[in-house]
Structure 1
């Protein structure tokens, strides 16, 4: 057909046609925190031939957050609308703006979605373990601890090494308070995680961490640094062992809050750190059990268990055994890197493998704080009641 007889001309605007200009949508403040009142602004255009009146509503998941009305908007004119929406929780919010005008001939341009991102002003994710110099066959990883009170949506979170222009985004995942999240380059780390471990592989890859030290930045969806660390190899870790934080609640940038993983596996991805410290004893203590002990091979009281509780989060431990004449006969540990608590055993033999005689032996324990150099020392006596047969 070459015309539209009896109908509205195809190039003639309809009487009522309002439009929400999606490209005009903006927010104030630009980078809100949870305490900021957010205002959403946009433009309404009258594309019809009659003046119009109407209402604009802003909703989130069908919940009305705010609205505004306008009236007698002349044809061809536009009006700017500002709606105060109140405060928002940290994270990402998908808002829907809807334009309501009676008898609108074209409703396809009467609504639009708007993504609002609110920064996290409290630390909800923290760096908890770093494996920057792994053994052959083991991939590098970063472990994060969730400090949020409830669930945390990881959509939009991202991280980087010292090259902050090369950002890696998290896969969309919802985690809970207390969860440990492991970021790595691929899924080959799965066998080293607990059954309920959380391993995330960024679609943007994983940075190569320098063996001499590096920087790690953790960004929230608003692009604000939520946690960071600049470490060197003298902080701990290396030679196949990971660098662990003493407690997730401690500050990441403090060298005194980190140490070398002491577990046999050398790493602890997705599990409590091997040097985890809940609380430190004020003075420390050494316990010997059983005492006396009788290493006679009958599987009863055969070994002396020497349990220590140190006033340091991480220390160099030396434990020596002397006979009654003051001669050193056995070295159980010398400058052993350890956490605040642990147990060593003596099987009743000297360093040369010979069996110790019945008698009194002196146990000397010294611990040096890895961070401050402060030291403590204990001297205990143990009784070997029967010689090995």
Structure 2
């Protein structure tokens, strides 16, 4: 009968245990950060301690010894610890770890500090392999919860690539759910392909393709077809840890004054959604001359819960790099506070619009007509008074390129409430100092046009025109069940009322009531009456009444045929 050497057996089992557990769960997104408590004060029902929560979605127990957590530029190494499958674990500073006794498993770290304003948090396995990364911002918390006491939670851990759209503030009565299933947990899959926000030419031999979400590192580097007219692509690199920027190196330099056609095919996001094709025209950036880039629109009195924005416009045929340009305000008639809008290469294309703001998502919520994506997010914006003030735009050398001194009296006098209404430049070729060149944005376009052509832009028409297209339509037609009243106006500042009558003279629909029009636009009618019912087949009269602040009036009559199936 042989004797068992228990000491040797324990050593063998221990070695197997370490090797077994350290071999699993180290792939990208296998372990995720599922909750962030950056500002625990004032406490709602939890300890006044910053914490992160880890969740193991790998299906295997994972040995975390020598893993690394980075928050900004600071790093902390994990002690001996294990996270089991589907387990939630709290990370916090070891000084405060005792505060979480009774909540669940805790992993104390020697260095741990979460910035309230936001930052990048990354998780690395031994060997410095990136496992997970998230960049959060203070704006991810609703404005009424930013004072502190609430965490934000990942809503769907099966969508670990999701960023802001996959995080919500905790709705637990304590303000968070450390080491527990998240209170916001629900299915929130991503089915949308990535969108290329812009292409920056960072040098004559290098391009940076910027996407709106995390890209698939393998497909972006080897599976995406990128073609540039007259140039060969010799290298690609997806920049970690954000994975939004794909840097492309060219075999030969781009030439100044030339334009090139760029085609991008089969670009996959981190989830696997594929952008089939996107085409761009690019060129080397040129030095801006005076008047090339101008102020074009400003929202200085935002709607409730909104934020300010300033829009600039490139009125030249040049590609202009906005790196180190600055935006400022005016106090007592003099230039006051300035801030650099970007320290990175950011190319404004010829005749391109760009809205500068601290929160593009909030702007899009309040002005949903904008689908351009032409936003540059700033960490801060100079303060612009709701009553009067000034906007100054400077080049990298500190030269003032444009200045606009505004006041609320510049709004159209027929607008009763100017809150949430921007001021737009009518003619980009005329100085911003000319007050008559600025007008209130049209109500028919949502009271602002951030990142795209102004509603009050100067037109080439010789008289006011209103045309109905198509002249006959069927409201039952899903693809084209509406008609449009397309208009062009000679001047800005005209108010319109549009009513629709049947052949017996009965009022069917109030389409517009005393709304400020743009100079070029369209008003749609879906063939429904005031009750939301589809009208009967027949002829209908469209009566258009317009007037301006001087009292000048005009009336237009148009007809349309509705065919009800």
Could you state the TM-score of these two structures normalised by the residue count of structure 1?
Answer: 0.54
Q: Could you tell me which residue of structure 1 aligns to residue 351 of structure 2?
A: 178
Tell me, yes or no, if structure 1 residue 378 matches structure 2 residue 545. Answer: no
Partner of 1:227: 402
Cα 1:145–1:189 change in 2 (3 A) is farther
State the match for 1:308 in structure 2.
487
Measure, in 1, the Cα distance between the counterparts of 2:503 and 2:289: 61
Between stretches 304-313 and 188-197, larger displacement belongs to 188-197
Structure with bigger helix share is 2
* CA distance in structure 1 between the aligned counterparts of 2:360 and 2:527, rounded to whole angstroms: 46
Q: Are positions 1:123 and 2:320 aligned together?
A: no
1:86: which partner in 2? none
Matched ranges for 1:303-342 at <5 A: 303-313=482-492, 315-342=494-521
Q: Residue 166 of structure 1: which of 323, 337, 340 is its match?
A: 337
Question: Gaps (5+ residues) in structure 1?
Answer: 1-118
Are 2:388 and 1:213 aligned? yes
**1:345–1:125 CA distance, 2 compared to 1 (3 A):** closer
SS in 2 for 1:380: strand
The reply to whether residue 199 of structure 1 matches residue 379 of structure 2 is no
Which sections of structure 2, spanning at least 5 residues, go unmatched? 1-286, 412-416
User: What is the alpha-carbon distance in structure 2 between the residues aligned to residue 184 and residue 356 of structure 1?
Assistant: 44
CA-to-aligned-CA distance 1:79-99 (integer Å, 9 cap, x gap): xxxxxxxxxxxxxxxxxxxxx
- Structure with a larger share of its residues in strand: 1
- Local SS of the residue matching 2:452: coil
User: What's the TM-score once normalised by structure 2's chain length?
Assistant: 0.39
Q: Deviations over 1:69-115 (max 9, x none)?
A: xxxxxxxxxxxxxxxxxxxxxxxxxxxxxxxxxxxxxxxxxxxxxxx
Return the offset for 1:300: 8.5
Task: Kindly indicate whether the alpha-carbon contact (under 8 Å) linking 1:319 and 1:332 is maintained by their aligned counterparts in 2.
Answer: yes
Distance 1:246 1:255, change over 3 A: same
Mapped partners of 1:375, 1:243: distance in 2: 24
CA displacement 1:204-239 (0-9 Å, x = unmatched):
x53221122321122445655321112223444943
Highest RCO, 1 vs 2 (Cα 8 Å, sep ≥ 6): 1
CA RMSD of aligned residues (A): 4.0
Corresponding residue to 1:239 among 419, 443, 457: 419
C-alpha distance in 2 between matches for 1:141 and 1:300: 35
Contact map agreement 2:425 2:454 (CA 8 A) in 1 = no
- Partner of residue 133, structure 1: 301
Going from structure 1 to structure 2, the CA distance change for 1:263 and 1:201 (only over 3 Å counts) comes to: farther
* Cα distance in structure 2, aligned partners of 1:190 and 1:378: 35
Residue of structure 1 aligned with 2:432, choices 238, 252, 263? 252
Partner of residue 286 from structure 1, selected from 466, 481, 488: 466
- Once residues 150 and 346 of structure 1 are traced to their aligned partners in structure 2, the CA distance between those partners, rounded to angstroms, is 40
Count of aligned pairs: 264
Q: Which has the larger radius of gyration?
A: 1
User: Which of 315, 325, 345 is the equivalent residue of 1:147?
Assistant: 315
Partners of 2:482 and 2:325 in 1: CA distance: 51
- Cα distance in 1 for partners of 2:353, 2:449 equals 11
CA displacement at 1:332 relative to structure 2: 0.8
With 251-260 and 332-341 compared, the bigger mean Cα shift is at 251-260
Compute the displacement of 1:326 (Å): 3.8
